[in-house]
Each structure stands twice: as C-alpha cells, then as structure tokens.
Amino acid sequence: MSEEDWDGGCICGQVRYRVRGPLADVIACHCRQCRRMSGHVYAATAVPQDAFELTESAGLTWYRSSESSRRGFCCNCGSSLFFDHGPEEPIGIAAGSFDGDPPLRMAAHIYVDEAGKYYTIDDEVERYDGAAWRQGGWDKLRRG
Ligand SMILES: [Zn+2]
Ligand SMILES: [Zn+2]
C-alpha cells in the first residue's frame, strides 16, 4: 500500500477526486444492486473520509441506495464512483476510476451467492456469500 496521493474521476471530468493513501484492498461485490449499478461487478477500494477530497463535483449525484448508504455517480456521463456508508465509515471508491494505476490488490469477492451465472470467479482471493459477509466478514477482512 502506498502513502501517495491519487487522483481519479468520471469519464467526462465533471466529478474529480483526490485521495491520500494507503488505499484499502479491493472488494468486488456481486450483489444484485452492485451488479445493476456497475453493469457487472462493483469493485472498490476505500479510504477514511478525511483522506478523501472532491476536487470537482459539478456532475456528482448521490443516490440513496439503503437507509445507511448512498452511491455517488456522475449525472452527465453515468460513471459509478463512490459508495458512502456514512461519516464513520471509509468511503468506497470504484477501483477502475483512478487516473494512474495505483498499487491495488484484490482482497475478496462478496455476495457471491448473487453473482451472475454468465461468469466465473476464478482467482484465489477469499469469497463470502451475503450471509457470511453480513455476519462479520467485513470485520474479519479489516483486521486482516
Ligand atoms: Zn462524468
Ligand atoms: Zn453490492
């Protein structure tokens, strides 16, 4: 993991951000909502809220996706960018939205029981179905 700053944003440039590393390992979520939002699988890193800064937000729209979370996307180009669980939790950032190629590492696939039938998950990282993830998978992964 790197202590550097990283920039990223949407396709059209109306949403831009800067984060201060280290960047959390990437979690790929296969739940139905993430599949719809992303068009396939939502893969995100995360940083603490105070390490995250919007440098351009003209296109940013938040969609409240559950009682406790919201998803940020660009209303001009449609890029899916952020997953926010509230001020106490790290903000999720789409792993594909960075400008450069930050040193990200895959950590886990989650909600694999909701994965599409049209693809296979064939790497070596951990997998959790939705129930296992909700029952402490997140804490286990964060403790490392
Ligand atoms: Zn955009
Ligand atoms: Zn999901």
Could you report the per-residue pLDDT of 1-57, keeping only the tens digit for each?
457 899 999 999 999 999 998 999 999 999 999 999 999 999 999 999 999 999 999
Ligand lying closest to the C-alpha of residue 9? 1
Ligand lying closest to the C-alpha of residue 10? 1
Distance from Cα 132 to the centre of ligand 2, integer Å: 14
Are the beta carbons of 109 and 126 closer than 8 angstroms? yes
Candidate from 32-46, 54-68, 99-113, 126-140 with smallest mean pLDDT = 126-140
Structure tokens at 129: 């179905």
Distance from Cα 58 to the centre of ligand 1, integer Å: 9
| DSSP structure string for 53-93 | EEEE-TTEEEEE-SSS-EEEEETTT--EEEEE--TTSPEEE
Which one is predicted more confidently, 47 or 140?
Answer: 47
Ligand lying closest to the C-alpha of residue 58? 1
